[in-house]
Amino acid sequence: AEEKGVGIIGPATVGGIKPGCFRIGNTGGMLDNIVSSKLYRPGSVAYVSKSGGMSNELNNIICHNSDGVCEGVAIGGDRYPGSRFIDHLLRYENNPDVKILVLLGEVGGVDEYDVCDAIADGRLTKPVVAWCIGTCAGCFSYEVQFGHAG
């Protein structure tokens, strides 16, 4: 893919969406969710998520609390991913239509640290909202599987 200049989202992704342009995979859900999340017109928030199901919830949350989604992608939680958080966030950083970056990670991953480094060294300058779900795992007295951590 690198030799051909082609991007790979990931082997276990539900896809991605660029409202008003295209949808690949099942991102955005069924037509009723696409309409209620206003995914038929672009906004200014771009997100990347490990979780496909939670990416649909991100579409909903973003559309009800901002002007909407500019682009969103669920990269999946594979051990050997096609792309990582930082790949998409740097691409969003270079898109003048994107004003806010959103990251949804999961407990157990390390890719979030690359994003922190990019903020610290100035490669990411747009506002970043990040949430790592499953961080409550330490509160359980037994082992809990959260999945998608890579």
Q: CA-CA distance, 124 to 47, in Å (whole number)?
A: 14
Query: Is 148 designated active site?
Result: yes
Catalytic one among 18, 38, 84, 148? Answer: 148
Residues forming the active site: 148
